[in-house]
C-alpha cells in the first residue's frame, strides 16, 4: 500500500491564546465587552513540502501529502504540533483526530474492481448488482475512541481532484482507496508523550484494518 496523505487535527475547548488576545483588543476597541471573535481559517501552504497548516480559533490541523512512510508522517506531525505549542500554548484538547489515506494499485479494469469489491463485501441483490461504483464504510466506537474505515475502487482523476493539492505524476490508473480515521474524544492537555501514544495507536489500527480489508480482496481474487 502507498500512503498518499495524512491529516492531524487538534480541536480545543477554548480559543487559542492569539485569538483570545485579538478578541480582547476588539472588545476594548469596539466597546462591546461580551463580543466573540469569528474569523476565517489561516491557511499556510508549503508546496515544496506538500503540506498545509490550518489555524482556526479553536482548532489546528496539519495536512501532509506523499509522506515517506507512516512513521515519518507521525514524527513530522508530532514535531510540528510541538513547535506550534511552544510558540503559543494550546488550551485543553477535546478531540484529537488522525486521518490516513492509502491506495493499493490494481491491474483490473475499474468495472472489474467494482465487481470484486461487491462480490466480497456485499450480498448479491438487485441494488448491488446494478451499481456501477461502490464504497464500503465501517464505524467502531470504543469508549472515547472513534474509528472509521472507508474503502472502494477509485481512479487517478478522482484522487487528484478530491483529495490531493499537490498530486504526484505517478498515480496508478486504478486502485483501491482506503480512508481511515482514528479519533479520541477524551479531553486532555497537550504533551508530546500523549500525542505520540495517540499517533502510534492510530497508525497501528489503520494499517491493520487496511491490510485486513486487502486480505479479503486478495483471497477473493484468488
Question: Per residue in 48-104, pLDDT tens?
Answer: 999 999 999 999 999 999 999 999 999 999 999 999 999 999 999 999 999 999 999
Let me know: does 61 contact 42? Beta carbons within 8 Å: no
Mean pLDDT, residues 195-210 taken together: 97
Model confidence, pTM: 0.92
Q: What pLDDT does residue 161 have?
A: 94
C-alpha cell at 87: 510558540
Model confidence at 186, in pLDDT bands (50, 70, 90)? very high
The pLDDT value recorded for residue 200 is 98
Instruction: List helix spans (H) across the chain.
Output: 17-30, 70-87, 110-121, 126-130, 156-162, 192-221
Burial group, residue 170, by CB count within 10 angstroms (0-12, 13-18, 19+): exposed
Contact call for residues 52 and 43 (beta carbons, < 8 A): yes
Instruction: Output 30 or 191, whichever has higher pLDDT.
Output: 191
- Under 8 Å CB-to-CB from 163, ≥6 apart: which residues? 4, 5, 101
Note the pLDDT of residue 121.
86
What pLDDT, in 10s, does the model give residues 120-139?
888 878 877 888 888 999 99
Amino acid at each position: 500500500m502507498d500512503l498518499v496523505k495524512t491529516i492531524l487535527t487538534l480541536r480545543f475547548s477554548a480559543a487559542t491564546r492569539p485569538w483570545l488576545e485579538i478578541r480582547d483588543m476588539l472588545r476594548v476597541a469596539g466597546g462591546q465587552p461580551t463580543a466573540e471573535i469569528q474569523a476565517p481559517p489561516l491557511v499556510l501552504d508549503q508546496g515544496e513540502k506538500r503540506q498545509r497548516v490550518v489555524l482556526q480559533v479553536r482548532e489546528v490541523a496539519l495536512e501532509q501529502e506523499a509522506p515517506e512512510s507512516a512513521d515519518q508522517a507521525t514524527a513530522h506531525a508530532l514535531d510540528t504540533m510541538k513547535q506550534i505549542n511552544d510558540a503559543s500554548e494550546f488550551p485543553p484538547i477535546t478531540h484529537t483526530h488522525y486521518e490516513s489515506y492509502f491506495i493499493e494499485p490494481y491491474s483490473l479494469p475499474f468495472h472489474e474492481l467494482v465487481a470484486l469489491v461487491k462480490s466480497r463485501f456485499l450480498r448479491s441483490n438487485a441494488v448491488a448488482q446494478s451499481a456501477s461504483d461502490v464504497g464500503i464504510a465501517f464505524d467502531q466506537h470504543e469508549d472515547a475512541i472513534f474509528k472509521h474505515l472507508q474503502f472502494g475502487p477509485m481512479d487517478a482523476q478522482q484522487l487528484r481532484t478530491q483529495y490531493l493539492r499537490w498530486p504526484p505524476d505517478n498515480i496508478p490508473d486504478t486502485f483501491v482507496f482506503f480512508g481511515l480515521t482514528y479519533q479520541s474524544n477524551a479531553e486532555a492537555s497537550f504533551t508530546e508523550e500523549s500525542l505520540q501514544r495517540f499517533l502510534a495507536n492510530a497508525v497501528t489500527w489503520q494499517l491493520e484494518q487496511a491490510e485486513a480489508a486487502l486480505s479479503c480482496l486478495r483471497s477473493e481474487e484468488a
